Amino acid sequence: MSFNLYEGETLALVGESGCGKSTTARAILRLVEPKQGNITFAEENVFSLNKGRLKEKRRDMQMIFQDPYASLDPRRTVGSVIGEALSIHKITSGRERLSRILELMELVGLRPEYINRFPHQFSGGQRQRIGIARALALNPKLLICDEPVSALDVSIQAQILNLLDELQVKLNMTYLFITHDLAVVKHVSNRIAVMYLGRIVEHADKTNLFDAPLHPYTQGLLASVPVPNPDSVRKKNIIRGDIPSPSSPPPGCKFNTRCQEVQDVCRREEPALREVKPGHYCRCHFR
């Protein structure tokens, strides 16, 4: 897979569970070590950096994790969690560090008197705000959001998404936003890359992708999004079956075992990701 992420934009990476979205995110930060390939950030290959240089580079690349409770150390106070990165990178100390922690708490909508509380004393939405504050501590340029609202109630999801929107404008950040919720994607993204079994099968700006999806997988995903209108009639395009094992993918097109339009060539040859329309890429033999 290959994609570009431009400064100041939000690229959404979408797909079913198990397709490799979170692995991609962790590989970008070298939380997992890939066997091959390159990731270039600010003209440097992240995979070629030594430990010291990688630590410096990680100031510019931070991550918000999916589970706002599991990602926080239950034995540490909020102030300690948010200030940990400042301590590791030896940025500020004493009163200056405390001032920075309180500034971050205010930035994400947490009251300053919460600084000595522990994660279990907060709601899910508040815990995710703590995670966001921690990610912002080093003033990163790139923020990887790994399904940051999937574990939250719908009303809280909206609050967190609006907060991320505001922070992006205020701090001029770039987002890689990973999710399987297409309703969320439409709200937050500039461009969308649809992923299936370790491959990007469609890539376009959000308007083109939602108005005129090309790949059968993308069409099936969009058809599965509930419409809040009981009188709405839509063409059914159901994706049947389960996603194959990533360790033993089918030959040819990786979607051929579930595609309603499959033909013999799909089982023999894997299609390339081609530019079908200006800025609209699709991995399909018949598009």
Amino acid at the residue 178: I
Which residues 6+ apart lie within 8 Å of 139 measured at CB?
Answer: 59, 171
Give the three-class secondary structure for 196.
strand
Strand 142-146 relative to strand 40-41, pairing: unpaired
Core vs surface per residue 69-84: b (16+ CB within 10 A) or e = eebbeeeebbbebbbe
d(CA 30, CA 7): 20
- The tens digit of pLDDT for each residue in 125-167 reads 999 999 999 999 999 999 999 988 887 888 888 899 999 999 9
248 band by pLDDT with thresholds 50, 70 and 90: confident
Q: Is the pLDDT of residue 81 over 70?
A: yes
Provide mean pLDDT across the span 11-32.
90
d(CA 114, CA 108): 13
- The tens digit of pLDDT for each residue in 43-65 reads 889 998 899 899 899 899 999 98
CB 111 within 8 A of CB 90: no
d(CA 253, CA 272): 9
Q: Which residue segments constitute the domains of the chain, with CATH numbers given?
A: 1-189 (3.40.50.300), 206-287 (no CATH)
C-alpha dist (Å) from residue 266 to 43, 163, 215, 251:
37, 43, 13, 9
Query: Percent of the chain having pLDDT more than 90?
Result: 59
236 band by pLDDT with thresholds 50, 70 and 90: low
pLDDT of 76 reads: 93
pLDDT of 60 reads: 93
d(CA 102, CA 64): 19
Q: Is the pLDDT of residue 232 over 90?
A: no
d(CA 193, CA 185): 10
Amino acid at the residue 35: K
- The tens digit of pLDDT for each residue in 138-147 reads 999 999 999 8
pLDDT of 66 reads: 85
233 band by pLDDT with thresholds 50, 70 and 90: low
278 band by pLDDT with thresholds 50, 70 and 90: very high
194 band by pLDDT with thresholds 50, 70 and 90: very high
Q: Is the pLDDT of residue 234 over 70?
A: no
pLDDT of 245 reads: 85
Amino acid at the residue 8: G
d(CA 168, CA 105): 16
Provide mean pLDDT across the span 250-267.
91
Query: Percent of the chain having pLDDT more than 70?
Result: 98
Q: What is the pTM of this model?
A: 0.89
pLDDT of 222 reads: 87
- The tens digit of pLDDT for each residue in 105-116 reads 999 999 999 999
- For residue 185, give the nearest of 203, 216, 210 by alpha carbon: 210
Q: Is the pLDDT of residue 235 over 70?
A: no
Q: Is the pLDDT of residue 193 over 90?
A: yes
pLDDT of 62 reads: 94
Which residues 6+ apart lie within 8 Å of 272 measured at CB?
Answer: 283
Provide mean pLDDT across the span 214-221.
91
Task: Name the more confident of 234 and 72.
Answer: 72
CB 143 within 8 A of CB 173: yes
Residue-averaged pLDDT of the chain: 89
Provide mean pLDDT across the span 249-263.
91
Residue that has been written with the tokens 């100031």 in this structure = 59
